[in-house]
Amino acid sequence: MFLASPHDPLLAMWSPGPGEMLLLAVIALLLYGGELPEKARHWGKAFAEFRRNLSGIQNDINSAIYAEPPKPQRLQHYPEFRDVEPLTPAASPAADPLAEQPPADAPRPDEPTD
């Protein structure tokens, strides 16, 4: 008794049997004749290059997916600035914007005087 797995009919449909392989060989021989070894070599090189490019793309995708995130950078310490006093605003009237305002009861320059 023959017990088949559920995947066997699908695989049998896509894999050529010996008769189909012989038919493909005869068709290839009729189409290409003496150039068949050159064409087979060319197809083999093209297929190998396609596979190499496909694996390069797959490696790029895998490295992007499984890459570790970059470690956060630590703040650098500069000891030469430790003894310097911080900058303070100058004590001039130009540094204080409120010191330049005229008093509230003074007439404004754009208003006409009586």
The 3 state secondary structure assigned to 55-113 is HHHHHHHHHHHHCCCCCCCCCCCCHHHCCCCCCCCCCCHHHCHHHHCCCCCCCCCCCCC
| Distance (Å, whole) CA 20 – CA 14 | 11
Quick check: 111 pLDDT over 70?
no
pTM of the model: 0.39
pLDDT by residue (tens digit) across 48-104? 999 999 999 999 999 988 888 878 777 776 666 666 676 766 555 555 555 556 666
